[in-house]
Each structure stands twice: as structure tokens, then as C-alpha cells.
């Protein structure tokens, strides 16, 4: 009987300890929820920009999460296609207007051309002193395989609705008229780029035409020119996000989309489509 009582007593003690442990765990969970009720979301663009789809989906996925008070765009890209860059720029502006959340850009190694264009939508832009920033301009890249086609005795036939419909095709050499036509488009898109830089960076220290010649600048130079707001690390961007969003407690840092899964990387059809898009996309920032 004495042994049974000891077993019961031990069981009660174990049960009490379990209850205490669960209570402590629950209390800790409440503390953590309170501590992390405000968060900063980290969005990464770390490749050439040929599509806006993933960024737009990512923005949509976080716009209704109330505890995300601000977003840091971690930028490391040389730029890319004009349409994709402009669409991301516009979607960030819409996101800010709809949610009231602050957007800070933190440039790592490079934020040039179309990537710099995207950064203009952010409330503040930071870069490291040695980051590469700028490259304000537009370029059209195409090639001719006419001589190669002739070498293999291939004769293409082109049926077109207008004389400029096949401008830039690799099937023939461009004419002087083709070059003038494409140059006209490049210049119009260039004016759009300069217009948005002037609108978003009203305190430029020099005329936009003095620096919009395709040059890149170091982070330090970009600050002096007024292209960005300051130099700083990712940690500095977090501090700025806390300040601009008025966050009063230690925020949770939420990292955005992860790298592509292996099977997606091995998707041959997708890879071929991306390659074709990059080769035949005529206008780049």
C-alpha cells in the first residue's frame, strides 16, 4: 500500500510539473506574440529583371497582413526589361498607397538601370559606399544572322503588314531606316526614365542630363548626386524601417520568398522560354 501511495504521489508530481511546463510555454508564447506583433518584411530582387509576376504576387500576399509595418527591398540586380521594371515600380507605388506601409530600398552590390528605376518607388534608398548605382538609360540589343543563314543556304521569307514589323529581326541586316526607328523608341523610353527620376528625386544636385548617360556611380557618389538618400548596411535599413514606420518594440524580421525549388530550376521548357525572352527582348534598362 505504501508503494502504491508513492507511485500516486510521484504521478501527481509529474503531472504538476507538466502543467507548470505547459503554463510557462503558453506564457512565453504570449510574450513572443507581443514582442513580434510588429514585423518588417524583406523582399529580395537579386537577379536580372525579365518578369514582374513573382514580385507582384509577393506584394499581394503581404498587403493584408497587419503586423507587417514596413518592407525592405533588398536589391542586387543590374536591371532588365523595361516593361517588367516599370510594372514593379508602379505596383510598389500602389502597394504603398493602399497599405500605408513604408518601403525602404537596401542596395547590396548593384542597383543599376531597371533595378535603380524600381528603387525610385521606395520611400528611402540606401546603398553601401562601394555599391554600384545608376546607369540611367535605355539600350536596345539585337543581332543579325543574315550571313550565317546565307552560309547554310537558308532563304527566309517574311510576310509582314508594315515595313517596320520585322525591324530588329535576326533574319536580315537592319537598314538605316530601321536604326532610326528603333532609336526613336529608345529615346522616348529614355525620356520616361529621366522623367521618373526627376519626379522621385527632386533634390538632385545636378541636371538629370548630366548624369543620365548610362554611367554608374559608387554609393558614395550617388549620395552626393542625390540619386539615393544615404550609405548604410542592411542593419541600417532595418533601423530606418523601424523609425519610418514608428515601430515601438523589437520587430520580427520576415524574409520573403526563398530560392526556387530544384525541380523548378530543372524545368527545361521554362529555362528555354526565359532564354528566348532574354535574347529577343529588344529594350533594356
Report the catalytic residues.
Answer: 113, 165
> Could you say which DSSP state residue 218 is in?
E
Please report the DSSP string for 21-88 in residue order: HHHHHHHHHHHHHHHTSSEEEEEEE-S-BS--HHHHHHHHHHTT-TTEEEEEEEEEE--BBHHHHHHH
Task: Tally helices (H) and strands (E) across the chain.
Answer: 11, 10
Residue with cell 541636371: 207
The C-alpha R_g of the chain, in whole angstroms, comes to 27
Cβ atoms within 10 Å, residue 203 = 6
Amino acid at each position: 500500500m505504501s508503494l502504491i501511495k508513492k507511485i500516486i504521489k510521484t504521478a501527481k508530481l509529474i503531472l504538476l510539473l507538466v502543467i507548470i511546463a505547459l503554463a510557462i510555454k503558453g506564457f512565453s508564447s504570449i510574450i513572443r506574440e507581443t514582442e513580434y506583433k510588429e514585423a518588417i518584411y524583406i523582399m529580395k530582387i537579386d537577379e536580372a529583371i525579365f518578369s514582374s509576376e513573382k514580385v507582384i504576387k509577393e506584394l499581394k500576399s503581404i498587403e493584408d497582413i497587419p503586423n507587417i509595418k514596413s518592407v525592405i527591398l533588398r536589391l542586387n540586380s543590374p536591371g532588365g526589361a523595361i516593361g517588367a521594371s516599370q510594372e514593379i515600380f508602379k505596383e510598389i507605388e500602389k502597394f504603398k498607397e493602399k497599405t500605408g506601409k513604408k518601403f525602404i530600398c537596401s542596395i547590396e552590390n548593384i542597383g543599376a538601370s531597371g533595378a535603380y528605376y524600381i528603387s525610385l518607388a521606395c520611400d528611402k534608398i540606401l546603398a553601401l559606399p562601394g555599391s554600384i548605382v545608376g546607369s540611367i538609360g535605355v539600350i536596345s540589343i539585337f543581332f543579325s544572322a543574315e550571313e550565317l543563314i546565307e552560309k547554310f543556304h537558308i532563304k527566309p521569307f517574311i510576310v509582314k503588314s508594315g515595313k517596320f514589323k520585322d525591324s530588329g529581326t535576326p533574319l536580315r541586316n537592319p537598314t538605316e531606316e530601321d536604326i532610326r526607328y528603333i532609336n526613336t523608341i529608345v529615346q522616348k523610353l529614355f525620356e520616361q526614365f529621366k522623367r521618373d527620376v526627376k519626379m522621385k528625386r527632386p533634390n538632385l544636385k545636378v541636371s538629370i542630363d548630366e548624369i543620365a548617360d548610362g554611367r554608374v556611380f559608387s554609393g558614395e557618389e550617388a549620395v552626393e548626386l542625390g540619386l539615393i538618400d544615404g550609405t548604410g548596411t542592411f542593419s541600417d535599413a532595418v533601423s530606418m524601417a523601424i523609425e519610418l514606420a514608428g515601430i515601438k518594440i523589437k520587430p520580427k524580421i520576415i524574409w520573403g520568398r526563398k530560392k526556387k525549388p530544384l525541380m523548378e530550376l530543372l524545368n527545361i521548357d521554362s529555362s528555354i522560354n526565359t532564354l528566348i525572352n532574354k535574347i529577343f527582348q529588344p529594350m533594356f534598362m
